[in-house]
Chains A and B, each alone.
Chain A
Amino acid sequence: MGLLDVVAIAAGRITRRAVLTLRPGGATAIPGRVVERLSPGLLGRILSQPRLVVVSGSSGKGTTTKMLVAILEAHGLDLFTNKYAGNITRGMLSELLRVVDWRGRFPHEWAVMEMDEGYSALTTEKARAEVTVLINVMVDQVHRWGQPERVAAYLERTARQTTGTLVVNREDPQLRRVVSRLPERGAQLRTFGVSAEVQSSLRHGLGSAPDFAEGEARMPDPVAESVVVGYGGSTATVELSSADGAGPATLVDVELPSRGIHLAVDSAAALEGARAILGDRFDPQVAAAALADAPVVFGRGERARVRGEVAEFVLAKSPTASQVNVDALEPGTAQIAVVMGKDIPDPSLLWLIDWTPVGRAAIVGGMQAWDAALRLGYDEVEIDAIEEDVEIATDRFFALPAPAAGGGVKTVLYSAEGMRRMRRHLGLFDADTETIRTDAPASGSSVATTEDGDDA
């Protein structure tokens, strides 16, 4: 750390105080931008100090990081994590400014960082990760990435910078290709996945981007793996192979924060990542209990009390995540709002999703309302009302009587911009949100051990 870093950190802190005075309570990346401008290498110098864990991939990195952190903290690990969805350089710097001292010294043993796919490569080439968790490569943000192969190339660079253990989704074709290209004597490989039986029960599969490269992508055998062997909507059973590969497997029953197979995959990623980090200290009982208590990721699949009634809010992030959420709708769900905002630059992506399970939408809203209605119309979804203005759509939707079915719960599927505008209009902020777990059993997560190690 040099003088420049000291100046940059001081400037960042002053900026942060100024921003918070003007806009109380807001998470902001502005101080990080100031710091980045003054001392471009500071992020790497801070993250080189702790033992670094990086979680990246197209979809689910935020959820996986939160699950992983919950498990690690329950085991008493001293760690820092980026909590406010700042997963690119300036956002991470803004959050790190709050914990480093005036010279940039980092006070925790571990840093568990959710990182954007592109920035994970740039950052780990400055500060190598001890453990890297790679979740998936999906057809996502094609306007930014163009090709899934480009995302895979960034994740490959991240994987190559990993010193200890690489934890990879074995079901993801692009990630299998990435691992097959890595040097033999690199990081140790651990994997997570979904059993063939569970996969065959899914309506639309797992949603990873296909791999069209020539030749089979061969992955070496992992030293250990965590596999989703049971999935019941908002619960999952994850089988953890034994640590030495010979003993019995451990079954962990997991309560998911919401419905969806992607959350089951995320929990398997978090469990295997935690095993990589904790080694012998890993306790499946503690892990299961931590997952049961993990807070729901803000705004992505949660129930909240709105204007005196309960509504379920589901963020339609990528096409794949949206498909999972649409498939996870309980049959007979009534009073559904679909809000597609201006963050969807090209509504073509709506055609990657099969909307048939929606059945009937009470309202279709947002800047892309007419294109969304067009899409739903071709899946023969009935539509009661269409309204481009999110605020008006919100008022009309919540003025409707509560549905008779589904416990009187209304359902909102929204894009990120639709989410921000709707939540602001409803006065629904992170701190005020009364999140209510979906229909998970009251008993909580549990752990069992099988003798033969291969059966649920």
Chain B
Amino acid sequence: MSATTVRLVHVYPEHFDINGDSGNALTVRKRLEWAGFDVELIEPTPAGGWPSETPDLVLVGGGTLAAQRAALAPLRAEAARLGDWIAAGVPLLAVAGGLQLAMSRIRFPGDGEAEQDGIGLFAGLSEPSAEHRTGPLVLDSAAHGRLFGYLNLAQTAVLDAGQQPFARVLHGEANGAATTAEDAAAAFDGAVNGTAIGSHSHGPLLPRNPGLADHLITTALARRGIEGYALGEKHLRVDDYARRAREAITARLKLADATA
């Protein structure tokens, strides 16, 4: 019996890996392979390479400002394709610089007031943040529990009214201030549009938060009616390391113990 092949699109890997963001693609690939699936890794570049058929899962990392500028126009040309996939229920994760490009409008640092159209997966404006922000970002999501990431970005997304954020911020800063104008006590990160998720947390968000990784994977498989994704020894080994890494950060930041 041949294994089921899952098609993973990893967008512009050379442009979007400034903080090890490719770790998200590695995590999805390994977890699927460990569960007995084959993975076809599709890596489009600005020169092309997009699949003609709808893939199962899409990942976008974060890049430098120069990489974002170089990627914006060719990615905007793929906006309809990406929008169709999301409408078809394909899970997508865009982090850090990838989230900035995925907003409907973007104002790059150094460009003054000049605003450009973004890819438009999420409604809102990406703008320069007051300062370059780095440090741990701890999130709380009703759907995914407590999530641990890092921030290293001079940009921030300000959501339009009605655009749903991804998660509440427990530690760190994420979305621009306009999001929290209604509720100064709560800060939010990222955005959600159907099966598309955007977060300011760069890098490998998924290995540290295997629940989110498995959510993307099971969403992808469910769309195709595929069952049988089960965690084995290899998953449990790395998930135990992830749990200990999360506990270590929780202790360092003196956060109240996570219940998730």
A362 on the B face (CB < 8 A):
no
- Is B177 interfacial (CB-CB < 8 Å)? no
A146-B132 contact in complex given A212-B70, A351-B203, C-beta closer than 8 Å: yes
Output the least CB separation between B17 and chain A (Å).
Answer: 7
Q: Are B66 and A351 closer than 8 Å at their CB atoms?
A: no
- Chain A interface size range: 20 to 34
Is B164 in the interface zone, CB < 8 Å from A?
A: no
Q: Which residue of B lies closest to A346 (CB)?
A: B150
Distance from B207 Cβ to chain A, minimum over Cβ atoms (Å): 6
The answer on a CB contact under 8 Å between B242 and A148 is no
Q: Does B84 contact A (CB under 8 A)?
A: no
Residues of A341-371 contacting chain B, CB below 8 A: 345-352, 367, 370-371
- Residues in B neighbouring A319, C-beta threshold 8 A: 20
Query: Could you tell me the distance between the alpha carbons of A139 and B203 in the complex, rounded to whole angstroms?
Result: 14
Contact with A along B102-138 (1 / 0, CB 8 A): 0000000000000000000000000000001011100
Picked from A212, A214, A345, A374, the residue with its CB within 8 Å of the CB of B245 is A374
Interface centre among A214, A350, A351, A352 (most CB of B within 10 A): A351
Residue of A319, A375, A378 ringed by the most chain B CB atoms within 10 A: A378
Of the candidates A143, A349, A352, the one having the most CB atoms from chain B within 10 angstroms of its own CB is A352
Q: Mark B1-23, 1 if CB is under 8 A from A, else 0.
A: 00000000000001101111111
- Report whether B66 and A149 are in contact in the complex, using a CB–CB cutoff of 8 Å: yes
Minimum C-beta distance from A54 to chain B (A): 25
Contact assessment for B30 and A142 in the assembled complex, using a CB-CB cutoff below 8 Å = no
Q: Tell me how many residue pairs across A and B have CB atoms closer than 8 Å.
A: 104
A346-B207 CB under 8 A given contacts A212-B64, A370-B241, A388-B248: no
Q: Are A370 and B248 in contact (CB under 8 A)?
A: yes
Residue of B20, B65, B247, B248 near A350 (CB, 8 A) is: B20
Asked if A377 is an interface residue, CB under 8 A from chain B, the answer is yes
Name the B residues within 8 Å of A209 (CB-CB): 64
In the complex, what residues of B have CB within 8 A of residue A147's CB? 64-66
Mark B232-260 against chain A: 1 for CB-CB distance below 8 A, else 0.
Answer: 00100110011011011000000000000
Q: How far is the CB of B23 from chain A (nearest CB, A)?
A: 4
Answer whether residue B79 sits at the interface, using C-beta atoms and an 8 A cutoff.
no
Q: Which residues of chain A (208-235) have a CB below 8 Å from chain B?
A: 209-214
| Contact for A346 among B14, B15, B19, CB less than 8 A | B19
In the bound complex, what is the Cα–Cα distance between A395 and B43 (angstroms)? 44
Given A148-B64, A374-B238, A378-B26, the answer on whether A346 and B134 have CB atoms closer than 8 Å is: yes
Q: A212 with B69: in contact, given A143-B134, A147-B64, A388-B248 (CB under 8 Å)?
A: yes
A159 CB-CB contact with B under 8 Å? no
B168 at the binding interface (Cβ < 8 Å): no
Q: Using CB atoms and an 8 Å cutoff, list the residues of chain B in contact with chain A.
A: 14-15, 17-23, 26-27, 30, 63-67, 69-71, 132, 134-136, 150, 152, 154, 202-204, 207-208, 234, 237-238, 241-242, 244-245, 247-248
A interface list, Cβ under 8 A from B: 139, 142-143, 146-149, 209-214, 319, 345-352, 367, 370-371, 373-375, 377-378, 380, 386, 388
